[in-house]
């Protein structure tokens, strides 16, 4: 059901087993909001427990290696996270691109590995504040997406794009409605160019960057916004599910 809004929590490096109660609460609430697809990307250590204990929501990872196995100390492969119960993986997050030197070439290899392992991919893209101020946000993001994506047969099912302006992540700042609309429309036309009219139209484009219960309705009501990638506000069931509720209302 790729036409449902997709609300994804990125728990980043937050959460021990004590957070399982929050995942269960999200799962129970998600059963009352079936018009929305709700998912969590917890740290690797919680993928399997959430897969077992929270059956309504999707569970995914925040990264994977591009190799299937080998001498890569501290890394994890796409097939390993799939084996743990992950259904998707977030790739190319700015905290990976900036903090771990991940180029778009590396991200592309990871996308290939993830699809081969049967995972859906949420590909992140987004510009710095300096790039936006220089008026280059749209070409920068389009180039980043083009360079990060391999050929994908069933893009509508396998791929989600998350537009996350870097300066909006964890800062409390959000892009203006006009800027979000412009960027999402540009990304849509790029997807149609890359994957054809049908598959390109089926890829959901999420917005991410300080999405909160207070601004969710406004952002999720914008054209071409197919959901949200939520960091800080996904760590409690109350705030995360308020965002899911806003997504459901934007569908009504």
Tell me which residues are annotated as active site. Answer: 93, 164
**Mask 81-110, x = binds ligand PEP (CB under 6 A)?**
------------------------------
**Mask 153-192, x = binds ligand PEP (CB under 6 A)?**
-----------x----xx----------------------
Residue 52 CA to residue 210 CA, distance in Å, equals 29
CB of 158 or CB of 234, closer to ligand PEP: 234
Q: Which of 140, 122, 135 is nearest to 60 (CA)?
A: 122
12 Rama sector, left if φ>0, alpha if ψ -120 to 50, beta otherwise: left
Q: Which of 57, 106, 205, 211 binds ligand PEP (CB under 6 A)?
A: 211
Nearest-CB residue to ligand PEP?
Answer: 231
Q: Element (H or E) spanning 230, and its range?
A: strand 227-230
CB of 11 or CB of 66, closer to ligand PEP: 11
What is the closest distance, in whole angstroms, from the C-beta atom of residue 210 to ligand PEP in the complex? 4
Rounded to 5 degrees, φ, ψ at 6 are -115, 115
- 8-47 residues near ligand PEP, rule: CB under 6 A: 10
Query: Per rule CB under 6 A, is residue 208 in the interface with ligand PEP?
Result: yes
Q: Element (H or E) spanning 6, and its range?
A: strand 6-10
Give SS3 for 125: strand
Give SS3 for 79: helix
CB of 36 or CB of 206, closer to ligand PEP: 206
CB of 10 or CB of 199, closer to ligand PEP: 10
Give SS3 for 189: helix
Tokens of 121: 């991919």
SS3 content of the chain, % helix, strand, coil (to 5): 50, 15, 35
CB of 160 or CB of 210, closer to ligand PEP: 210
Q: Which of 229, 235, 244, 247 binds ligand PEP (CB under 6 A)?
A: 229
Residue 17 CA to residue 75 CA, distance in Å, equals 21
Q: DSSP characters for 40-72? A: EE--GGGHHHHHHH--SSEEEES--BSSSSSS-
**Mask 45-84, x = binds ligand PEP (CB under 6 A)?**
----------------------------------------
What is the closest distance, in whole angstroms, from the C-beta atom of residue 68 to ligand PEP in the complex? 26
* Residues in touch with ligand PEP (CB under 6 A): 10, 164, 169-170, 208-211, 229-233
């Amino acid at each position: 059901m790729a036409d449902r809004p997709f609300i994804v929590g990125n728990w980043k490096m937050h959460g021990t087993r004590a957070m399982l109660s929050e995942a269960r609460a999200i799962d129970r609430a998600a059963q009352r909001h079936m018009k929305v697809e709700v998912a969590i990307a917890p740290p690797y250590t919680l993928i399997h427990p959430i897969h077992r204990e929270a059956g309504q929501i999707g569970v995914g990872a925040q990264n994977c290696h591009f190799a299937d196995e080998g001498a890569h100390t501290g890394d994890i492969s796409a097939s390993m996270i799939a084996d743990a119960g992950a259904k998707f993986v977030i790739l190319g997050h700015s905290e990976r691109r900036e903090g771990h030197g991940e180029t778009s070439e590396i991200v592309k290899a990871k996308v290939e590995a993830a699809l081969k392992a049967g995972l859906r991919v949420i590909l992140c893209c987004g510009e710095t504040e300096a790039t936006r101020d220089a008026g280059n946000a749209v070409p920068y993001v389009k180039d980043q997406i083009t360079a990060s994506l391999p050929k994908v047969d069933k893009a509508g099912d396998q791929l989600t794009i998350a537009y996350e302006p870097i300066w909006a992540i964890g800062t409390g700042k959000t892009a203006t409605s006009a800027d979000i609309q412009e960027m999402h429309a540009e990304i849509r036309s790029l997807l149609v160019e890359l994957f054809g009219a049908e598959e390109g139209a089926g890829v959901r484009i999420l917005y991410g960057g300080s999405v909160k219960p207070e601004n969710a309705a406004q952002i999720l009501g914008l054209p071409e916004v197919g959901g949200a990638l939520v960091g800080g506000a996904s760590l409690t069931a109350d705030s995360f599910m308020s965002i899911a509720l806003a997504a459901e209302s934007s569908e009504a």
